[in-house]
Each structure stands twice: as C-alpha cells, then as structure tokens.
Amino acid sequence: MKKYTSVHDVADVNELVKEALHLKENPYNYKTLGENKTLGLVFLNPSLRTRLSTQIAGNNLGMNVMVMNLDKEGWALETQDGAIMNGTTVEHIKEAAAVMGQYCDIIGIRSFPKLQNREEDYSEDLLNKFISYANVPVVSLESATRHPLQSLADLVTITEQKPAGKKPKVVLTWAPHVKAIPQCVANSFAEWMQQADVELVITNPEGYDLADEFTKGATVLHNQDEALLDADFVYVKNWSSYEQYGKVLTDGEGWMMTNEKLALTNNAKVMHCLPVRRNVELSDEILDGPNSLVLEQANNRTFAAQAVLKRMLEAL
Ligand code: CP
C-alpha cells in the first residue's frame, strides 16, 4: 500500500478488517517489521485519538515515531504553485514535504478543510501535494473530505458487534452541534459502509445532504424517526451543509439521540467517532448506557492504524 487516503486505496476491505482484528489479538507479533523505520505524524489540527492510537500502532510494529504539530511548531506553509512568498507564509509544501520524506519512511498527515470554498476543500489540494512531494507512503489522519482510519475502526467495531446471521441495518444520523463541522467523518463512513455487507440509511435535515459521490446507493431520509426504525447500529455525527457549503442551517432541535429515539430501533448500538458534545449531539443516558460503543471504536483506532501501517511496511 503506497497511500491510504480513502476506501479506494484498499484492495480488499474485508481482508483489511480481518488484519485489524488479527492485530488486536496479537499486537506485538510484528515487532521487527518496523525496526529502523520512522513514522512521522504531522498535525495541522488538534487530535487526541488519532495522534495517540497511531503512535501506539507504530510502536507496536517496532517503528520510531515522531509527532509534529506543524500548525504551531512549523513554519507557516504555502501551498499555492508559483506563489510569490512575500506575505505570511514562510515555507513551501514542496520543500517541507520533501524534507520530511527524507526523515521518515511513512508519513501521516491531518489537515482539516477551511469550510470557505467547497471546490478548494474537495480538491484535497494540500493532501495531494503532500503525497506527490513527500515521495514516501502517506496515511491520511483526516483530510478535507475523509477520515479513513476512523472509518476502518468503525467497520472493525461493527464487524465485532453485529448480530449473527443478519445483514445489519446501519443508520448514519446527523446530530446538532454548536458550530460548523466538516463533512469528512460522515462522507468517509458512508463510503466505507457502501463496501461493507450492511444496509446503509442516512438521515439528516433538508439542506444537509452529503455529496452524491459518497452517498450514491444509500437510502437518504429527512425523517429521522422513520430512518431509525429497526436499526442495529446508529452512527451519530454532525456535519455542516454541503449544498450551502460550510453553513449551519438549523439548531437541529429534536435531532439529538436519546433513549426515546433508541426505542424505535432494534436495541441499536450507538456509535460516535469522538470528541462528542454531551447533551448536544448525544445524551448522557446513551453515552453512559449499555448501547454506547464509543470507547470500543476509540480502542479499535489502534488496530485499524496498525493494519494500514503493516501493509505499508510490507510494501516498502
Ligand atoms: N475521532 C478522532 O479522529 O479523534 P481525534 O480528533 O481526537 O483524533
């Protein structure tokens, strides 16, 4: 594997899930694979889970791991080709990525969208430039449009928890939030679920439909109660509008998952990628109750990252 930016970089999703589950049982079996190899993790945005789980994954494989908060500790980065750099940017991505590629065998990078210009964000300009200049395998730690390590961990969690002998109904539901949030987790989850043996239903208020390229093939309903009927898994996530790009169109009253809504489901397991705004996106009663899978998802982040890094190390 030379890059991991979306489900399209994975030859066989089921095999990768199996690999992650195998690593969960045997985390130290490949301790020599990453010997004398360096993993660089570059963050342009905050992180708790991605940062720590990917570090553990690299360590489990015997890698040296370096973390850099490029937004705070690095030089201000220029990404425009041909820019006359007489303003605030100090270092061009051409040199920055190429230099990091000399220091590292694999690089992970997190770069959120600015939510100002849809075309610019959805072109994944920064991630694509980083990949082309780094000249080593690159893992997305969440980009402008996707969060593939999260989605793999989510699919691992669903695989572990699904009811036997049944194709599970998985509902991705929009939830309220206090500010504009990117679409990447929801886009990515929808894209991965289309590759999995599940029935995917997406529910969101009018004006919040995700881009067709991610939801094509899924049922999209604007009535949350209807969508939740008989669900086996409910994935809760806020996202800002794709149509009116980056805008918050409603306060989302009535869309927070509660036990009352859970009663509509098939005693569904409830998922969220975290961090979660308690009693805004998801109620305390669900997060503290027996149906919540949020900690299981976070735990599986390590083995999702380890499966991807293992594939990359094997291809070096
Ligand atoms: N879910 C997730 O990516 O968490 P962090 O933003 O804390 O890494």
User: Using CA atoms, how far apart are residues 158 and 74, in angstroms rounded to an integer?
Assistant: 38
Best CA proximity match to 94, nearest among 83, 79, 105: 79
Per-residue DSSP letter, 89? -
Per-residue pLDDT reduced to its tens digit, 192-251? 999 999 999 999 999 999 999 999 889 999 999 999 999 999 999 999 999 999 999 999
| 250 in contact with ligand 1, CB cutoff 6 A | no
Taking only the tens place, the pLDDT of each residue in 167-197 is 999 999 999 999 999 999 999 999 999 999 9
Q: What is the pLDDT of residue 245?
A: 98
CA of 281 to the centre of ligand 1 (A): 16
274 lines ligand 1 (CB under 6 A): yes
pLDDT tens digits, residue range 94-139?
Answer: 999 999 999 999 999 999 999 999 999 999 999 999 999 999 999 9
Query: Which residue ranges make up the annotated binding site?
Result: 47-50, 75, 110, 142, 147-150, 177, 237, 273-274, 277, 301
**Residue partners of 192: CB distance under 8 A and separation at least 6:** 7, 13, 148, 151, 152, 154, 155
231 — alpha (psi -120 to 50), left (phi > 0) or beta?
A: beta
Output the CA 85–ligand 1 centroid distance in Å: 33
Mean of pLDDT over the chain: 97
Q: Which two structure tokens, joined as six digits, stand for 196?
A: 């999995």
Query: What is the C-alpha separation between 290 and 283, in angstroms, rounded?
Result: 13
Structural Rg of the chain based on CA atoms: 19
Give the position, in ligand 1's atom list, of the atom nearest the Cα of 46: 6
The pLDDT of residue 236: 98
Q: What is the pLDDT of residue 229?
A: 98
Cβ atoms of 245 and 120 within 8 Å: the answer is no
Residue nearest to atom 6 of ligand 1 (CA): 47
Residue range 265-270: mean pLDDT, rounded: 98
Choosing from 41, 42, 50 the residue with most ligand 1 atoms within 8 A of its CB, the one to mutate for a pocket test is 50
Query: What pLDDT score was predicted for residue 11?
Result: 96
Q: Is the peptide bond before 182 cis (omega within 30 degrees of 0)?
A: no
Q: What pLDDT sits at residue 217?
A: 87
* CA atoms of 71 and 68, how far apart (whole Å): 9
Q: Which DSSP helix (H) or strand (E) runs through 140?
A: strand 138-140
Query: Which atom of ligand 1 is least distant from the CA of 110?
Result: 8
What pLDDT is recorded for position 269? 98
From 45, 49, 52, 295, the mutation candidate for ligand 1 (largest count of ligand atoms within 8 A of CB) is 49
CA 298 to centroid of ligand 1, rounded, Å? 9
- Atom of ligand 1 minimally distant from the CA of 48: 7
Give the whole-angstrom CA distance, residue 157 versus residue 296: 7
